[in-house]
Structure 1
């Protein structure tokens, strides 16, 4: 996750606590296009994808994702992976999840 911290500080110039207070993308409020991610490294695309799950309390089994989201002030883990139901996603989240899943090629 050091790559993520470096990216946020050097590329997005976010060096304050805001990086921990808000999700990186508004994938629950607007539609994104592939071009919106064209300058982002794969780690940011992967985080964007998993933020969609994190907003709904998904508890990550991947230790890196778990640690990352536990460090976010907005994240409240409430649903075990095996109990998660993706019907909670709104239309923006469904469309954006499909997009970032196609782009997440690491």
Structure 2
């Protein structure tokens, strides 16, 4: 360290220059100020680094939280998708079971067995010659009246009435004349009406006068 006036060497403890007597106290203060400023700059740098590190940790924490949330959301969506697929599969399975039910059982009221009918499908399909092949005039007469009996018609013929009374599916509701006059048109479908006419024609082909009841 030198005197700013005469440039003579100075010791750290010198307040006055030993050569020219100039005060050097201000220079020492200036040096102290420089040290203080350096320390402040260093403190600012350290604080900046600390803030930067903390910010980095917060960003990493947020990133981890977002990743965890996205993973949970993805898992929830997958679980929901699997649950929906399982429900759809169960519904399809139930539907397949229903479709596998034999058509005959759907056509018969109260799931009555086929043998309780002369022609089980006379109310669900248009009959053909194949359906009546091998039938007698009596069977054709019973099959024709079977169409009416399904709807609760009673019969004046004891033979017919006793025959249908023996069937588990039959319930007589209407007198013959009352049914023919007031209910047959509304209760019978067009298919049943045509099948009744078809069976009547086939009966009369076998017996010109038709099957004679109560003989």
1:64 and 2:164 aligned? no
Tell me the distance in 2 between the aligned counterparts of 1:24 and 1:103: 14
Count of residues paired in the alignment: 89
- Structure-2 residue corresponding to 1:98: 197
The answer to whether 1:75 aligns with 2:170 is yes
Q: Give the Cα–Cα distance (whole angstroms) in 2 for the partners of residues 101 and 42 of structure 1.
A: 9
Runs of 4+ in 1 over 2 A off after TM superposition: none
Q: CA deviation at 1:24?
A: 2.5
Report the Cα offset of residue 64 of structure 1.
Answer: 0.3
- Residues 1-106 of structure 1: matches in 2 within 5 Å? 18=113, 22-25=116-119, 26-84=121-179, 85-87=183-185, 88-105=187-204, 106=211
Mapped contact 1:34–1:99 kept (Cα < 8 A): no
Contact 1:49 1:97 in 2 (8 A): yes
Measure the CA separation in 1 of the matches of 2:197 and 2:156. 21
Q: Distance in 1 between matches of 2:117 and 2:135?
A: 15
Rounded Cα–Cα distance in structure 1 between residues aligned with 2:129 and 2:203: 11
Q: Tell me, in whole angstroms, the C-alpha distance in 2 between the residues paired with 1:38 and 1:63.
A: 27
Residue aligned with 1:40, SS: coil
Question: 1:91 Cα deviation (Å)?
Answer: 1.9
2-structure distance, mates of 1:33, 1:19: 18
Gaps of 5+ in 1: 1-17
Larger relative contact order (CA 8 Å, sep ≥ 6): 1
In the superposition, the TM-score normalised over structure 2's length comes to 0.39
Q: CA deviation at 1:39?
A: 0.9
Higher gyration radius (CA): 2
The separation in 2 between residues aligned to 1:91 and 1:19, in whole angstroms, is: 23
Identify the structure with the greater helix proportion: 2
Structure 2 residues not aligned, in runs of 5+:
1-112, 205-210
